[in-house]
Amino acid sequence: MFAESPIKRRKSTRIYVGNVAIGDGAPIAVQSMTNTSTTDVAATVAQIKRIQAVGGELVRVSIPTMDAAEAFKLIKQQVDIPLIADIHFDYRIALKVAEYGVDCLRINPGNIGSMDRVKSVVDCARDKGIPIRIGVNGGSLEKDLQEKYGEPTPMALVESAMRHVDILDKLNFTQFKVSVKASDVFLAVGAYRELAKRIDQPLHLGITEAGGLRAGAVKSSVGLGMLLAEGIGDTIRISLAADPVEEIKVGFDILKSLRIRSRGINFIACPSCSRQEFDVITTVNALEQRLEDLLTPMDVSIIGCVVNGPGEAEVSDIGLTGARNMSGYYVDGKRQKERLSNDDLVDQLEKRIRAKAAQLEQKNQIKVKQVS
Ligand code: SF4
């Protein structure tokens, strides 16, 4: 029962990272980055697969050395999700991973060195259809910009990004996206707002080094939420000092909150109080864990009593309203004759939610068939 998001997306050009469309109205892609040693091929492949299993659509891999580039070749052969190579300074690494099938190069043209080297990377990217991501970071601003602005400011970040953009413009290369990340929410938001006015290319959003799981998720939600609500942003990464899998989950939760993308269950649950007729918190936590694998978008409301239960259930795909011993059960907003015993709510709800998800999936397939 998802309502349309009222957000009007910023118009941008379109690029493709592998088979993932970015910009020009394409769904906002959720990405993460591996934190294994890239030369440990088995560990990196396993982590990429875990990221993909929870819905990750793009994965960035750090390539600091030629050994890592050789490992990248093996990694690329074992995964089927677009990979972005993170490269600093060494243009030869960029050429090497391009040869090995990289889907996007995260490299700043202004940091490559001589124009000949820049041109060799850009020509190679053009020939192979590989887009570039320019990535400016508040923590590594050029010295002269730090002196000019006194400290990292939104304008300093934008000026840095525009230097790289200008190089690509001169080489007539348009297939790029840009990020201007900072660990400070206002700094990042200010920079993205300004950059959005200056270029037409897609923007990759992130609040960099946001922190651990809870604080980082909150900081990212605030920063990215402000930008996404204004229609700014085409891909996102939640930068957490945590398992990359969590970055994907938080990313989708942010998009879900803004009704930009719906993926998996949107739980509506009350915080519970002494009126609750069953243990709301335990029930919701258990269901969240058990149903992590479900990708079908649906609203499920789990409310402890009749104060708010019926109202929420009436706008949910599945709803539960706490009542003594046997709770009220709703499907498609309609109250069912059947009531669910409070003794084994988790088992009963899991079964019913899975059945409903299968039904919704089938409906979607029929719709797709009719359209095609
Ligand atoms: S819906 Fe009922 S149980 Fe839940 S917080 Fe409100 S009053 Fe308490």
CA of 271, closest atom in ligand 1: 5
Cα distance between residue 231 and residue 25, in whole Å = 10
Q: Is 304 in the pocket of ligand 1 (CB under 6 A)?
A: yes
Q: Is 1 in the pocket of ligand 1 (CB under 6 A)?
A: no
- Residue-wise pLDDT tens digits, 166-222: 999 999 999 999 999 999 999 999 999 999 999 999 999 999 988 899 999 999 999
Q: Quick one: pLDDT at residue 198?
A: 97
- Residue-wise pLDDT tens digits, 110-169: 888 899 999 999 999 999 999 999 999 998 899 999 999 999 999 999 999 999 999 999
Which pLDDT band holds residue 295 (cuts at 50, 70, 90)?
confident
- Could you tell me the pTM of the whole model? 0.88
- Residue-wise pLDDT tens digits, 253-293: 999 999 999 888 999 999 999 999 999 999 999 999 999 88
- Residue 282 alpha carbon to ligand 1 centre in Å: 15
- CA nearest neighbour of 254 among 224, 213, 290: 224
Which pLDDT band holds residue 367 (cuts at 50, 70, 90)?
low
* Residue from 267, 274, 276 to probe ligand 1 pocket by mutation (most atoms less than 8 Å from CB): 276
Per DSSP bridges, beta strands 58-62 and 29-33 are parallel
Residues in the chain: 372
Q: What is the set of domains in the chain, with CATH numbers?
A: 15-257 (3.20.20.20), 265-371 (3.30.413.10)
* Residue from 308, 312, 316, 321 to probe ligand 1 pocket by mutation (most atoms less than 8 Å from CB): 308
Q: Kindly report the protein residue whose alpha carbon is nearest to atom 8 of ligand 1.
A: 273
Which residues does the annotation place in the binding site for [4Fe-4S] cluster? Answer: 270, 273, 305, 312
- Residue 324 alpha carbon to ligand 1 centre in Å: 14
- CA nearest neighbour of 175 among 209, 213, 127, 118: 127
Alpha helices (runs of H) in the chain, residue ranges in sequence order: 41-53, 66-78, 91-99, 115-128, 143-149, 154-170, 185-198, 213-229, 244-257, 280-290, 309-313, 345-371
* Residue from 267, 268, 274, 275 to probe ligand 1 pocket by mutation (most atoms less than 8 Å from CB): 275
- Residue 345 alpha carbon to ligand 1 centre in Å: 17
- Residue-wise pLDDT tens digits, 303-337: 999 999 999 999 999 999 999 999 999 999 999 99
